[in-house]
Amino acid sequence: MLKISNAFVTTINNEFNHSSFKIYNIGSENGYTVKEIIDKTIKIYKELYPTKKINCNIIIGKRREGDQAITIANVNKIYSELGWKSKYSIENIIRDMILIYKT
């Protein structure tokens, strides 16, 4: 969440106007499967807390009707209008979230 805040700051600092609003997609322009996110999270958690045991029972089921196969944010508008581009990798974001919400 903290990484997303730089997009909000960029928007506010670029002629933010309360009388008109624009909608921007924010993202990294990279797509990740849920399994990739889980695997990265487990790997980073183990790196941060090597003595803690992780119990995960991952069940891979069928895609539900209507689920999108791929969803990737198109950030061309916020980049072209405000010059904003994601500065952080998914690994950085996961690491920060683990550290913020550690148990």
Q: Are 71 and 27 in contact (CB under 8 A)?
A: no
Q: Are 94 and 42 in contact (CB under 8 A)?
A: no
**Sign of the CA dihedral running 10, 88, 41, 64:** positive
- Model confidence band, residue 68 (pLDDT cutoffs 50, 70, 90): confident
Q: With pLDDT > 90 as the criterion, what percentage of the chain qualifies? A: 28
Instruction: Supply the pLDDT for residue 99.
Output: 92
Structure token pair of residue 44: 């980073």
Instruction: Supply the pLDDT for residue 3.
Output: 60
Domains identified in the chain and CATH numbers: 5-57+64-100 (3.90.25)
Q: What pTM did the predictor assign?
A: 0.72
Q: Are 20 and 81 in contact (CB under 8 A)?
A: no
Closest CA to 23 of 7, 37, 34: 7
